[in-house]
Structure 1
């Protein structure tokens, strides 16, 4: 068996699997890490999840997700910050080192993208010390520009680094997700600049034509056009030695057997990422 020691299976890849089935799938495929999502953790129970992972010997590598900082309504912003603090507490309880942040899109009716990005920075300033005190790092994930209007005004790795650099590296880092940043002509310079700031490295492939539901356009490694091994080598060169998560949103993959998908993930990881 090739070295799977850095491999982590994000729960989003096997969305319909319950927590126990997801853990079993990882164990069967000899995948040592699991990327968690708050919703299935809450459904199964926070303490039960921690106990299950410890019993199985699985390492939780990240938690999705926090963020959504761009509401102009002051009461909603207070609620959003409180929810993010709760997410940090959940990570601390489970021993999850990184909380992945999706920053939020433009407020309804707004065209002020710079203003939305300013709200993201303000929220990070509120949360970073809280997270740092609890041993959790906030991980800013840039999303592909097609999601800028409704999901994430942070669209490049360079923008994410500009935000993260305002804070200590142990408090705020960045996510390098191949799906979202592969297209950027400055991506390799940005990865080099990200030394010491890479919180998570997530891989999948870009497939075309995109489905009608663009969110579900991620493919299994090797099914698309991303230079996955080149990007892995770049993050390695930048000093990142942490987990490599496979996170795929794809209806056909979701509809398949979770055990089979976990085994396919391990095989494709060896073939196209290592």
Structure 2
């Protein structure tokens, strides 16, 4: 349980002070944070609150979206925020195709070029950039990186200490190459963040919100944890769930259910 981290997205509407107090009360020592919520509350104020509570921040979501005009300045701000919060990892969602474009190869090339432009700044800040592949259904508008293998290829030109990848079960569980790619990620020392969520069907309207708590869907979560462990990765295991029904429940109730599912289906 000392590796468990509650990603803030799982309890999206739980105010930050209540989230921090709830984690402390439940014996949870780690949290993954999101930029929107921490900026609304105040980045420095959030940093002080989690630090005083003895919580470690495992990641900050998110940077990326390299197809937008202000991507460079926005990602530098995200790196600064991660450093302020004490987050060692900034998760990057690459963004989709530029408006009017159908050139997927060019969009992916832009991702690695953009990351390369950010590497010196990230290194100076002590923040590791983590490329997250998303399920292919998000390729056009949200993330042109659609598999763990693609993420590793994009990370390869950059220093290991500066750029890694995210293994998120929700997005990669379908891939018949994922086990070999997890082994490769470990061999290349690229695993920067490990996130778990289940895949529930039927998907709700708006497939982005189709994640379930551990044990509610069809993903072999323990097999993923064992595969990631086998690479030598000993870092945090974040539970990150997007679902309107989950968000509608009280935060502490969701945290308790998350912990129960984690113990039963991930450990």
Match of 1:148 in 2: 139
Q: Report what 1:238 is aligned to.
A: 231
Please report the TM-score for the alignment, with normalisation by the length of structure 2. Answer: 0.98
Which ranges of structure 2 fall in alignment gaps of 5 or more residues?
Answer: none
- RMSD of aligned Cα (Å): 0.8
**Contact map agreement 1:28 1:259 (CA 8 A) in 2:** no
**2:255: which partner in 1?**
262
How far apart are residue 95 of structure 1 and its match?
1.2
Q: Shift in Å at residue 129 of structure 1?
A: 1.6
1:147-179 CA-to-partner distances (Å, cap 9, x unmatched) read 000000000000000011111110000000000
Instruction: Give the C-alpha shift of residue 122 in structure 1.
Output: 1.1
- Paired residue for 1:138? 129
Indicate if the aligned counterparts of 1:35 and 1:63 stay in contact, CA closer than 8 A. yes
Structure 2 distance, partners of 1:121, 1:51, is 34
1:106 CA drift (Å)? 0.8
Superposed counterparts of 1:111-190, under 5 Å: 111-190=102-181
| Residue 70 of structure 1, CA deviation | 2.0
Match of 1:41 in 2: 38
C-alpha displacement of 1:121: 1.1
Aligned match of 2:201 in 192, 198, 208?
A: 208
- Of residues 87, 95, 101, the one that matches 2:86 is 95
User: Matches of 1:237 and 1:133 in 2, distance apart?
Assistant: 31
Distance (whole Å) between structure 2 residues aligned to residue 225 and residue 40 of structure 1? 30
Q: TM-score, with normalisation over the residues of structure 1?
A: 0.95
Deviation at 1:247, TM superposition (A): 0.4
Equivalent position SS for 2:129? strand
Cα offsets for 1:79-136 (capped at 9, x unmatched): 2111101110111112110000000001122110001111111101100121011110
* Offset of residue 23 of structure 1: 0.9
Aligned residue in 1 for 2:47 = 50
